[in-house]
Structure 1
C-alpha cells in the first residue's frame, strides 16, 4: 500500500508559520550554518531534530531540507550517484510546495541550486562526484 503524503496549502503554511517556536527556528538556523560549511550530514541531523517533533503538516518542509542535505552528503562523503539523484529530487519535490519562501528560507533558490547540481551530476560516477570542486556547492539562502 502506497503512503500518501499531505502537503499544506499556502493558506495553511501562512497560518502555521506564526506558531513555529524559537527552538525550531534556532534548529533551522543551526542546520543552515552547518550546511554552509559543507557539513551536510550534520545539517540533516539538525533539521531532523525539528522534523521529528513537528506534528503539523509543515513536517514536509523540514523533510525537503533534510533530503537535500542528505543528497549532498551522498555526493561528498558516500559518493553514491544514485543517492544524489534520488534524494535531491525528492527534496526538491517537497520544497516546491513551499516556494518561493517559507520561515525566512529562500526556498526557490534552494530548489534552483539543488536542481542545477542534480542535473550536472546526472550520469556521472563516484569519481566525478569526488573530483567536483567543493567551492561550487551552494550556500543556504535566506530571504532578505
Structure 2
C-alpha cells in the first residue's frame, strides 16, 4: 500500500535483519496491536516469522515450523511487494528454511540451527558461529527494502 510506515516498523525490520528476533517481535507487536488492515495482517506475518526463527534458535522445531507456516500464509497476499518490502523474496527465503526444517524433522533441529549459524552451546559457553551463516546454502531470510526511484 504505502511506503509511509512508522519508524517502529523500520526499527523492527532492522532488528529482524540483525537476527534480533525477540526484539523484532516486541517492536512489531506494539504497532500491530494498534494497526488497522491491511497493515495489521502484514505486521503479524512478519512478527510470526520472527518468533519462528527465535524458536529455531531455541531448538523448538514445532514452534518454528508452525509459526513460519502461519506467517508465510499471512504474507502471501502482499506479494510481490508491500510497504517498501520485497515480500516475494522474503517468502522465497523463508520457504527454503521451512522446507529444510520439514525435511530434517524435529530430531535434527539442533543440527539445522547450527548449520544456519545460530549460536551453539559448548561447555555452557555460547559460540557465535558467524562463519556458518556466511557458508550456509540456506541463509536466514532478510527483509529487503524496495528501492523507489
Same fold, TM-score > 0.5, yes or no: yes
Aligned position for 1:96? 76
The answer to whether the Cα contact below 8 Å between 2:52 and 2:68 also exists between their aligned partners in 1 is yes
Q: Give the aligned length.
A: 124
TM (norm. structure 2) is 0.76
Task: From the two aligned structures, give the one with the greater strand fraction.
Answer: 2
The structure 2 residue matched to 1:82, chosen from 62, 66, 74, is 62
Q: Distance in 2 between matches of 1:81 and 1:28?
A: 27
Residue 128 of structure 1 pairs with residue 108 of structure 2: no
Aligned position for 1:137? 140
Could you tell me which runs of 5 or more consecutive residues in structure 1 were left unpaired when the two chains were aligned.
Answer: 1-13
CA deviation after TM superposition for structure 1 residue 58, in Å: 2.7
Could you tell me which runs of 5 or more consecutive residues in structure 2 were left unpaired when the two chains were aligned.
Answer: 118-132, 134-138
Report the 3-state secondary structure (helix = DSSP H, G, I; strand = E; otherwise coil) of the residue aligned with 2:6: helix
The structure 2 residue matched to 1:108, chosen from 88, 108, 122, is 88
Task: From the two aligned structures, give the one with the greater helix fraction.
Answer: 1
TM (norm. structure 1) is 0.78
Aligned position for 1:6? none
Q: Distance in 1 between matches of 2:70 and 2:17?
A: 21
Q: Distance in 1 between matches of 2:79 and 2:17?
A: 20
CA deviation after TM superposition for structure 1 residue 128, in Å: 1.9
